[in-house]
Amino acid sequence: MDTLVLVLVIILMLVGVAGTFLPLLPGIPIIFLAIAGYGWYEGFQLITGKSLAIMGALAILSILVDYLAGVIGARYYGSSRAGVWGAFLGGILGVIFGGPVGLVVGPWIGAFVGEYLQLKDVRRAARVGTGTVVGILTGVAAKVVIALAMIISFLVVII
């Protein structure tokens, strides 16, 4: 029974890793729930309350990274408020209408349009759009690192 539970937890964690790349799939929260579920199953002897709190903090951090990465990238590349709002709205619409591709294209278009409407400068608008995409990709990389850190620390504790 223990092996079956561990296999199910690892499968859930792999789904969680996939969720760090795929929109609308809450990757790291799934990893957290898998760890919490295993902790509950084993009576919180190996997965302690302290370790679960750390995992929960990492899950919350990943959610913040997910929502803020594109906006921070846009700001870093000199976006105005209109470009930041465009990136945010473009991200939402991109995911809804474009799936995984929309996750990258939507914020770029949104930041470009917002910045262009504000400043009427195609070059700067393109730069801000690119900054938004760089921010998003950096956020994905950060989420992958967080996911792997959670999984590795889980495996170290239970093995």
Say how many domains are in the chain: 1
Instruction: Report the 3 state secondary structure along 44-111.
Output: CCCCCHHHHHHHHHHHHHHHHHHHHHHHHHHHHCCCCHHHHHHHHHHHHHHHHHHHHHHHHHHHHHHH
CA–CA gap between residue 137 and residue 104 (Å, rounded):
8
Cβ–Cβ under 8 Å, residues 135 and 74: yes
What pLDDT was estimated at residue 26?
86
Location of structure tokens 């903090």: 57
pTM of the model: 0.81
The rounded average pLDDT for each run of 10 residues, N- to C-terminus, in the chain (159 residues) is: 90 93 84 95 93 95 82 81 86 82 85 89 88 86 94 93
What pLDDT was estimated at residue 99?
75
Question: Which structural domain, as residue segments, surrounds residue 60?
Answer: 2-158
What pLDDT was estimated at residue 32?
96
Name which of 97, 141, 27, 23 is nearest 110 in CA terms. 97
